Amino acid sequence: MAKTVLIVDDDPTQRRLIQAVLEREGFAVSQADGGDAALDRIATGLKPDVVILDLVMPHTPGLEVLKSLRAQGFAAPVIVLTATGGVDTVVQAMQAGAQDFFIKPASPERIIVSIRNALQMGQLTAEVDRLSKRVGGCTGFDDLVGASAPMERVKALGLRAAKSSIPVLVLGESGVGKELIARAVHGASERAGKPFVAVNCGAIPENLVESILFGHEKGSFTGAHDKHSGKFLEASGGTLFLDEVGELPLDMQVKLLRALQEGEIDPVGSKRPVKVDVRIVSATNRDLAGQVAAGRFREDLFYRLNVYPIEAPNLRERREDVPALVDAFVRRFNVEEGKRVAGATPATLAMLKAFDWPGNVRQLENAVYRAIVLADDPFLQPHDFPSISGVSVPLPAPSSAPVGGAASSAQASDKDVPGQPVRVLDEKGHLRPLEEIERDLIQFAIETYAGRMTEVARRLGIGRSTLYRKVREQGLEGVLSEVG
């Protein structure tokens, strides 16, 4: 999804100039002609990723707008514009919560660098907040990504469940995010901030299930050199999440049922039961009713766990959430990998939405991770997802014709390069004029990078002013307007 930048300035010419710069770089742009208009737009639902704010405006000055936004809890980065570089003005803006500033008129490069830095800082802040909530057991339903109808239904059911201590069973395919739903139930309940302990029942060796869940006393069996409290006691006062609960052995199902019914556990080797105060949220990707019919899962335990089922939708049922998920993964992996990817192109998002995702959200997450690591462009392209698009990373175009050899062999090499974007030789096998090759190469670069002239200039190894001059000389203004 393209990042949205709100430009707040009473000068329409200044707004149009900045908008042109930002749109060439792939940003979505909104405008406000004053401070009051900006506050109204944000109050009525606009959620910009960055705000560019002029400090000197009639009626409501930019500094007052900034203070009002921060007082309302607006957390997106704000970059202030000033016609004077006075230290006092800048200090006041920074103290009020500005991320950066630049003096008018600013170069396009300065504007883009400032916005990208602000976005990166915002991503760092969001990631710290996400991790803090996760560690503190305060992840809520507002932190679940997606606004599709199936996800809204999950959030509504989960919020109701969180208000009580009712046992919750999260159902769904592998990779749909069942643990995230369980964490949200915990974080929205009165137990928020208390321990959230997750156990994958399918990953525990069968001979260790009882010890890991219920604990053991020192010397209770061979190898028990120390006392172990077990997951139930670790989660006391909080929530115990039993993932893949359908994988539990039958004998452990009996002990789990007793723990749920009596609110107490029997550690291995203990002489007396231990009281526990634990809220149970379980999950499975299996058909537990079928397991019961086949005799592989206890019917009484099934009814004890299946009091309040929540069906987690697969990604095929919530395709409209794919752009938001991609955006969330891009933010996280930018922070983890030190990258500065701005998002994905519309063509890439359309491709990802059309894919069936048999591995659900987990598969999408891993695909975006790989794309972020390998991406060279500011926006993820279809070729960054070769296993989905079937398109490999394009080879760079040759910068010159082969040296030496007959014209016929040179012509053969020119034609043998698959998908060569710029012809070096003419129909007779002779070199084309340099001016023609240069024109085709600039046109190809403008189309490839969607008119983002900073990126085009960087790829061609020339300055932006030189690039614009060549565009005028070669009569390529029409190509630039088409892609822009």
Q: Residue 373: pLDDT above 50?
A: yes
Least confident of 191-195, 238-242, 360-364, 374-378: 374-378
Query: Can you name the residues that pair with 240 across neighbouring β-strands?
Result: 197, 280
320-386: CATH topology is Helicase, Ruva Protein; domain 3 (1.10.8)
Residue 387: the pLDDT is 87
Residue 406: the pLDDT is 40
- pLDDT tens-place string over residues 153-191: 999 999 999 999 999 999 999 999 999 999 999 999 999
Q: Residue 82: pLDDT above 90?
A: no
Residue 349: the pLDDT is 93
Instruction: State mean pLDDT over 247-258.
Output: 92
Share of the chain above pLDDT 70, in %: 90
Q: Residue 410: pLDDT above 60?
A: no
pLDDT band at 133 (very low <50, low <70, confident <90, very high): confident
CB of 330 closer than 8 Å to CB of 337: no
The residue with greater pLDDT, 90 or 262, is 262
In eight-state DSSP terms, residue 51 is E
Looking at 68-188, which runs of residues are DSSP E strands? Answer: 78-82, 100-103, 168-171
Residue 444: the pLDDT is 85
pLDDT band at 37 (very low <50, low <70, confident <90, very high): very high
Residue 25: the pLDDT is 82
- pLDDT tens-place string over residues 421-479: 677 776 666 777 888 888 888 888 888 877 788 888 888 888 877 888 888 888 887 77
Residue 198: the pLDDT is 95
Superfamily of domain 4-133: Response regulator (3.40.50.2300)
Residue 401: the pLDDT is 43
Residue 420: the pLDDT is 52
Domains 4-133 and 141-313 are alike in CATH topology: yes
CB of 310 closer than 8 Å to CB of 177: no
226-245 as b/e: b if 16+ CB within 10 A: eebebbbbbbbebbbbbbbb
CA 88 – CA 239 distance, rounded (Å): 51
- pLDDT tens-place string over residues 393-403: 665 544 444 44
Instruction: State mean pLDDT over 34-55.
Output: 90
Least confident of 188-202, 242-256, 424-438: 424-438
Instruction: State mean pLDDT over 208-230.
Output: 82
Instruction: State mean pLDDT over 98-110.
Output: 84
Residue 97: the pLDDT is 86
Identity of the amino acid at 277: D
Angle in degrees, CA 121, 123, 125, rounded to 5: 70
Number of CB atoms found within 10 A of residue 16's CB = 14
Residue 412: the pLDDT is 40
CA 473 – CA 477 distance, rounded (Å): 9
Domain boundaries, the chain: 4-133, 141-313, 320-386, 407-483
Q: Residue 146: pLDDT above 50?
A: yes
Give me the sign of the Cα torsion angle 316, 317, 318, 320: positive
Domain 141-313 in CATH 3.40.50.300? The answer is yes
Q: Residue 138: pLDDT above 50?
A: yes
- Taking CA atoms, 250 is separated from 169, 210, 299, 300, 306, in Å, by 19, 12, 11, 12, 17
- pLDDT tens-place string over residues 114-123: 888 888 887 7
CA 376 – CA 384 distance, rounded (Å): 9
- For domain 407-483, give its CATH number from 1.25.40, 2.60.40, 1.10.3470, 1.10.10: 1.10.10
Residue 419: the pLDDT is 44
314-344 as b/e: b if 16+ CB within 10 A: bbeebeebbbbbbbbbbbbbbbeeeeebbbb
Q: Residue 414: pLDDT above 50?
A: no
The residue with greater pLDDT, 107 or 304, is 304
Residue with token string 């790989």:
370
CB of 327 closer than 8 Å to CB of 185: no
Query: Can you name the residues that pair with 102 across neighbouring β-strands?
Result: 81
Least confident of 187-201, 225-239, 402-416: 402-416
